């Protein structure tokens, strides 16, 4: 026999050696590291057979609950902070552009194309809000024609795809094109906090560990422009509950913005909203496509 036989002390080395002939060097690196860390974890907690059986059952049920509308594995990745870590590593900014955050499990349909100034709140629920901003390059130059994809929950804390037949299709979603100055604006409602789906295995995990399932109030954005790196991000409402305990760890300080109330009948009539109404401003900056961000953010962490 040419290979080393399995034993407890060198289990990781024995298994990792089985990947030595993997043709793809990146796959070989990933699998070797995975085995090393997984075996170290099992040894560290001295995992019992019963506990491993529970884990297998948990993962099985997580897969069984996933479908074209609900992705429980993404939810699991989110609540363990893995989604945010992968997103942050792959979209470092060094403080030079808008920071990214998780895509989330509900960007599963194309947002309807809408004109600037359109109202995306089709169900009539919530506090009217004018959302506006500007898309620029890293030096503050406007990016005319930038694509601004937005989506959010309704006043009850659900996305349209979660409530087919209850919410209008495309409710609180929109694809906008920035004007010649890189500006965008649309009518919506003030975002509110909401719980992630917690009626499945991930919710059971949160309950068992004493964690809540809530996310602070936010709007989702994907912004792209020719010749620039797109960004997937959120804007968070400054006074929202759960900013410091987001169930999916998505909050970054640079993405928090205040919502202001405006009591001005003339301005309300101008923007097509009842008086008073609220405003939320979120400017975004994109890196150039060939502009590589630093290996790490200043201080080795996100701002």
pLDDT tens for 140-170 read 999 999 999 999 999 998 999 889 999 999 9
How does strand 147-151 pair with strand 128-136? unpaired
3-state SS assignment for residue 199: coil
Q: Distance (Å, rounded) from C-alpha 136 to C-alpha 140?
A: 5
Kindly indicate the confidence band of residue 188, based on its pLDDT and cuts at 50, 70 and 90: very high
Identify the bridge partners of residue 195 per DSSP, sorted by sequence position. Answer: 214
Whole-number percent of the chain with pLDDT over 90 = 84
Q: Distance (Å, rounded) from C-alpha 294 to C-alpha 97?
A: 12
pLDDT in tens, 64-102: 999 887 889 999 999 999 999 999 998 888 888 999 999
At residue 136, what are phi and psi to the nearest 5 degrees? Answer: -130, 165
Interior/surface letters 60-99, b for 16+ CB within 10 angstroms, e for the rest: eebeebbeeebbbebbbbbbeeebbeebbeebbbeeebbb
pTM of the entire predicted model: 0.89
For 281, the token pair is 């401003």
Task: Establish how many alpha carbons lie within 13 A of residue 146's alpha carbon, considering only the half-sphere containing its beta carbon.
Answer: 34
Cβ(78)–Cβ(247) below 8 Å: yes
pLDDT, averaged across the chain: 93
Which whole number is the average pLDDT over 4-25? 96
Judging by beta carbons within 10 Å of its beta carbon (0-12, 13-18, 19+), is residue 234 exposed, middle or buried? buried
Cβ(234)–Cβ(215) below 8 Å: no
* Alpha-helical runs (H) found in 100-241: 201-208
Q: Distance (Å, rounded) from C-alpha 132 to C-alpha 280?
A: 6
pLDDT in tens, 256-297: 999 999 999 999 999 999 999 999 999 999 999 987 766 655
């Amino acid at each position: 026999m040419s290979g080393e036989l399995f034993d407890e002390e060198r289990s990781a080395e024995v298994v990792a050696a089985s990947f030595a002939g993997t043709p793809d060097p990146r796959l070989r690196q990933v699998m070797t590291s995975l085995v090393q860390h997984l075996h170290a974890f099992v040894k560290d907690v001295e995992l019992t057979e019963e506990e491993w059986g529970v884990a297998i059952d948990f993962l099985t049920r997580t897969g069984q609950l996933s479908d074209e509308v609900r992705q429980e594995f993404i939810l699991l990745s989110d609540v363990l902070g893995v989604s945010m870590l992968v997103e942050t590593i792959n979209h470092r900014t060094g403080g030079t552009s808008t920071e990214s955050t998780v895509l989330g499990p509900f960007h599963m349909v194309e947002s309807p194309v809408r004109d600037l100034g359109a109202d995306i709140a089709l169900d009539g629920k919530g506090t009217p809000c004018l959302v506006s901003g500007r898309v620029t390059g890293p030096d503050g130059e406007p990016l005319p024609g930038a694509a601004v994809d937005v989506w959010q929950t309704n006043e009850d804390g659900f996305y349209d795809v979660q409530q087919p037949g209850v919410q209008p299709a495309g409710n609180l979603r929109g694809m906008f094109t920035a004007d010649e100055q890189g500006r965008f604006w649309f009518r919506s409602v003030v975002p509110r906090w909401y719980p992630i789906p917690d009626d499945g295995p991930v919710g059971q995990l949160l309950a068992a560990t004493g964690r809540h399932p809530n996310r602070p109030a936010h709007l989702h954005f994907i912004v792209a422009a020719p010749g620039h790196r797109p960004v997937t991000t959120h804007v968070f409402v400054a006074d929202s509950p759960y900013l410091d305990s987001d169930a999916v760890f998505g909050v970054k300080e640079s993405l928090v913005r205040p919502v202001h109330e405006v009591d001005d009948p003339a301005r309300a009539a101008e923007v097509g909203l009842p008086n008073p109404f609220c405003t939320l401003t979120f400017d975004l900056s994109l890196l150039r496509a060939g502009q590589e961000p630093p290996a790490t953010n200043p201080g080795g962490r996100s701002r």
